[in-house]
Amino acid sequence: MKRLIFATGNKDKMKEIREILGDLPVEILSMKEAGIQADIEENGKSFEENALIKARAVCRLAGEMVLADDSGLEIDYLNGEPGIYSARYMGEDTSYKIKNQNLIDRLAGVPDEERTARFVCAIAAAFPDGRECVVRGTIEGMIGYEERGENGFGYDPIFYLPDRGVSTAELSREEKNSISHRGNALKKMKELLEKEDLL
C-alpha cells in the first residue's frame, strides 16, 4: 500500500486525521513514524502558504506524498489577528489564560455583532512528482466575554458558537471534530484526493 505522511508531531491531530482519512487506500504515518525530523520555518503570509511550505519541505525529505496543515484564529474586529501568528501571539511560551484574557480585553466594549471570528485550517498536499494542492476549512463563531469550558486547547475557551450558546471548549472531542475547521479541511482534502485521483 502507498504511504501518506502527515507533517505533524501532534498525537491528537493524528487521531483525528486517521478517523477522517482512514478509509483512503493509503497507510497514514506521522513524521515520527516515517523517521523524519525537520524544523521548518513557517515564513509564509497565509495559512495556505505555510501549509504548502511544510508539505513541500517534508515531501522533499521523504520522497513520498505528504500532507501538512496550518491553522489559527482570525478576529474580524482586530483585522484578522492573531491569524497566522496564533501560536506565536504574545510569545510561544505565554499561557493561553493570558493570551485569551488579552484578546477579551482588546475587545472591551465591542458589541456582539462586531465580535465575529473564525478558526481557519489550511491543509496542503505535496507529491514527489511536484504536484501540489491546498484546501481551507473554517468554523465561524464569536469572541466571548469570558473563558468557558475545559475541553480543547488554545483559544477554544473564548471561541463561542452563538447558535449553540457554548464555547468550543465546552464541546466533546467528537462534537468539535465533526464541525471544526480542521475536520472540514480534512474532509475537503479527502474529497479532492479521491475526485482528482491523486493517490
List of residues contacting ligand IMP (CB under 6 A): 70-73, 86-87, 119, 152-156, 180
**39 is an active site residue:** no
Residue (53 or 73) nearer to ligand IMP, CB: 73
- Residue 79: left (phi > 0), alpha (psi -120 to 50), or beta? left
In the complex, least distance from residue 131 CB atom to ligand IMP, rounded to whole angstroms: 23
**C-beta of 93 vs 129, nearer to ligand IMP:** 93
Nearer to ligand IMP, 128 or 162 (CB): 162
CB 103 → ligand IMP: shortest distance, Å? 11
Q: Which is nearer to ligand IMP, 106 or 153 (CB)?
A: 153
Task: Select the residue whose beta carbon is closest to ligand IMP and give its number.
Answer: 154
51/47 Cα distance (integer angstroms): 6
| Shortest Å distance, C-beta 70 to ligand IMP | 5
Query: Minimum Å distance from CB 16 to ligand IMP?
Result: 10
Let me know if 167 is exposed, middle or buried by CB neighbors in 10 A (0-12, 13-18, 19+).
Answer: buried
Which of 34, 48, 36 is closest to 3 using CA atoms? 34
Question: Of 39, 69, 70, 156, which one is the catalytic site residue?
Answer: 70
Q: CB burial class (10 A; 0-12, 13-18, 19+) of residue 71?
A: buried
Q: Which residues contact 101 (CB under 8 A, 6 or more apart)?
A: 147
In this structure, what is the dihedral angle of CA atoms 68, 90, 92, 30, given to the nearest 10 degrees?
Answer: -20
Q: Return the C-alpha cell found at 69.
A: 496543515
Catalytic annotation, residues: 70
